[in-house]
Amino acid sequence: MKGMSPIVQTVTRWIRAFIVLFGIYVICYGHISPGGGFAGGVVIACGFILLMLALGREACERRYSIRWAGKLDAVGALAFAAVALLGFAAGLYFQNFLGRGESFQIRSAGSIPLGNFAIGLKVSASLFLVVAVLSVLRVAARRPPATEAVKPAETAETVGPEDVPAAGPEAAEAAAAAGARQVGIAPPRAPVGEDERLPRAWARKRRLPTRRRGLGGRR
């Protein structure tokens, strides 16, 4: 996944500190002002996802590995369960075992701030993990390779989201023409519109669904 321009990257690196700081503020003051663990956790996840969108996935992976996101996710969930089980110290499951404290201070309201921290950690790590995992796969080429010698592996590396429409058509012609010469029928047209129907020759060879033959409307 490619990153964005240097302006976006620089600004993101500066702004990200403020976003994460705001998220930590929302988590810490969750029992005094609006917010709490969920809102703060999602804000922190937004900060890290912004960095991933701006730098591209590989550069972000060098800084914050995805495996650690998964581990932090599990640690957050276990921490929340630990807060629940520690309530046994006061006699009941999930009992608020620390003292009540005076209101409007951070160190008040018993185990509620601990619960907020655990939930914030868990939600932020989970959401960062799921968006990072969704960003792995890049579409190599929208048209099928003519033979297996076409080296789809290197198209996978060089093609980013902006390059796909540009590299698509000429690769499509070459691949389709070569495929047609192999199979011995007329080369298939490019499909109507852009919703990526598979061309008939390639799909028939692999027994995949071909273009639908004009049933009903398009909407």
Partner 1 sequence: MTIVLLLAFVLGLAVMAALVAVETTDTLSAVIALGALGFFVSTGFLILCAPDLAITQVVVEVLTLVVLIRATIARGVKTISGGGELFGRALALVALFIVFLVSYEVLKQLPPFGEPAALAAGAGTPSVFYLLHGLERTGAANYVTAIILDFRGYDTLGEATVIFTAVLGATAILRRRAHKRAEEPTRGPFIPRTELEEDSP
Partner 2 sequence: MATFCYWICLMLFAVGLYCAVTKRNLIKIVIGIAIMDHAINLFLVLLGYRRGGIAPILDRANLAESGSAPGFAERSVDALPQAMVLTSIVISLAVTALLVALCVRIYEKYGTYDVNELRRLRG
Interface of this chain with partner 1, residues 148 to 187, rule: CB under 8 A = 148, 152-153, 155-157, 161, 164-165
Residue 128 buriedness (CB in 10 A; 0-12 / 13-18 / 19+): buried
Taking CB under 8 A as the rule, does residue 67 contact partner 1?
yes
The token pair at 31 is 């029992």
Taking CB under 8 A as the rule, does residue 54 contact partner 1?
no
| Residue among 158 and 184 whose Cβ is closer to partner 1 | 158
| Residue among 32 and 183 whose Cβ is closer to partner 1 | 32
- Decide: 93 and 84 in contact? Cβ < 8 Å: yes
The token pair at 159 is 């093609």
Rounded to a whole number of angstroms, the minimum distance from the CB of residue 41 to partner 2 is: 8
DSSP 217: -
Taking CB under 8 A as the rule, does residue 115 contact partner 1?
yes
The token pair at 178 is 């070569």
The token pair at 20 is 């994460």
The runs of H, that is alpha helices, within the chain are 6-28, 37-55, 57-63, 66-86, 112-134, 152-158, 163-183, 200-206
Rounded to a whole number of angstroms, the minimum distance from the CB of residue 209 to partner 2 is: 5
The token pair at 151 is 């080296």
Q: Measure Cα distances from 178 to 97, 128, 182 in Å.
A: 73, 43, 6
- Among partner 1, partner 2, none, residue 46 binds (CB under 5-8 Å by kind): partner 1
Rounded to a whole number of angstroms, the minimum distance from the CB of residue 177 to partner 2 is: 20
Rounded to a whole number of angstroms, the minimum distance from the CB of residue 184 to partner 1 is: 19
Binding residue for partner 1, selected from 135, 200, 210, 211, defined by CB under 8 A: 135
With tokens 């600004």, the residue in question is 11
- Among partner 1, partner 2, none, residue 177 binds (CB under 5-8 Å by kind): none
| Residue among 3 and 37 whose Cβ is closer to partner 2 | 37
Residues that bind partner 2 (CB under 8 A): 33-34, 36, 38, 42, 103-104, 123, 126-127, 130-131, 133-134, 137, 195-198, 208-209, 212
74 to 103: interface string for partner 1, x by CB under 8 A: x-xx--xx--x---------x-x---xxxx
Q: How far apart (Å, rounded) are the C-alpha atoms in residues 136 and 57?
A: 8
